C-alpha cells in the first residue's frame, strides 16, 4: 500500500503528485510484481452534480453507513480505490455505478486529494466531477451508504463531511457550475 506522511505543499506539488500517480498506475503491473515493488493504493472520487428545476447546481452527498471503519455516519461523495489496470476515470465511473446505480456524463478532473486512513497515513487520489440529469434515480448500496441528499451551496453547511478538504472542493465545484449558468 502506498501512503505518505502528511505534508503541506503548494498546488504545484499536488499537480506533480497527480501526474506521478498517473504515470505509476500506467506502469507494467507484471514488471512491478517481478521486482517485488509495493503496489500503489490510489483513491478516486466522483463529485456528481445536477441542475435542479431552478437551474441551481446541486451535488450528491452520501451518508456513510455506521458500520464503516473509516468516517462512519459522515457525509461524502462517491469514491473508492482504483483497481489494477483500471484508469482513474474508469474507476470513478465504476464507483458511481456501484454506490448509486447511476451513470453520468461530462467527466473532468477537479483536483488531487488525500484520505487519512490512520493518524499518520494518507492515501492520494483524484477528484472527478460528473453530471447527471435532474430526474436520475439514486439506488444506494446499503453496505456503504444509508442516505443521500442533493445539496446546494447554501445547504452545504448543514452536513458533517469527512474533511474540510472535501468541503472546499465541493464549494469550488458548485461555484464553477453556478458561474457557467
Q: Domain residue spans in the chain?
A: 11-180
Is 11-180 a domain of CATH 3.40.50.720? no
Distance CA 142, CA 62 (A): 11
- Please state, for a pLDDT cut of 70, what percent of the chain lies above it: 78
Sign of the CA dihedral running 140, 101, 42, 16: negative
Q: pLDDT tens across 19-31, in order?
A: 655 555 554 444 5
Among 140, 154, 40, smallest CA distance to 95 is for 140
DSSP 82: P
Q: How far apart are alpha carbons 76 and 14 in whole angstroms?
A: 21
pTM, rounded to two decimals: 0.78
Reduced DSSP (H G I as helix, E B as strand, rest coil) percent helix, strand, coil of the chain, to 5: 30, 30, 40
Provide the pLDDT for residue 180: 77
In angstroms, rounded to a whole number, what is the distance separating the alpha carbons of residues 73 and 79?
16
User: What does the block give as the cell for 80?
Assistant: 473508492
pLDDT tens digit sequence for 117-147: 888 888 899 999 999 999 999 999 999 999 9
> pLDDT tens digit string along 49-88?
999 999 999 999 999 999 999 899 999 999 999 998 899 9
Amino acid at each position: 500500500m502506498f501512503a505518505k506522511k502528511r505534508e503541506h505543499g503548494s498546488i504545484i506539488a499536488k499537480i506533480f503528485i497527480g501526474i506521478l500517480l498517473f504515470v505509476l498506475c500506467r506502469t507494467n503491473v507484471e514488471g512491478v510484481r517481478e521486482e517485488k515493488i509495493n503496489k500503489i493504493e490510489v483513491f478516486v472520487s466522483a463529485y456528481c452534480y445536477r441542475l435542479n428545476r431552478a437551474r441551481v447546481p446541486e451535488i450528491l452527498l452520501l451518508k456513510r453507513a455506521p458500520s464503516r471503519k473509516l468516517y462512519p455516519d459522515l457525509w461524502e461523495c462517491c469514491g473508492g480505490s482504483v483497481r489494477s489496470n483500471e484508469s482513474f476515470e474508469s474507476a470513478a465511473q465504476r464507483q458511481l455505478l456501484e454506490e448509486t446505480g447511476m451513470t453520468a456524463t461530462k467527466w473532468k478532473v477537479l483536483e488531487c486529494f488525500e484520505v487519512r486512513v490512520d493518524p499518520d497515513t494518507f492515501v492520494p487520489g483524484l477528484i472527478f466531477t460528473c453530471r447527471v440529469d435532474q430526474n436520475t434515480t439514486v439506488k444506494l448500496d446499503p453496505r456503504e451508504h444509508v442516505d443521500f441528499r442533493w445539496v446546494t451551496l447554501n445547504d452545504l453547511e448543514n452536513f458533517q463531511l469527512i474533511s474540510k478538504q472535501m468541503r472546499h472542493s465541493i464549494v469550488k465545484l458548485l461555484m464553477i457550475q453556478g458561474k457557467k449558468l
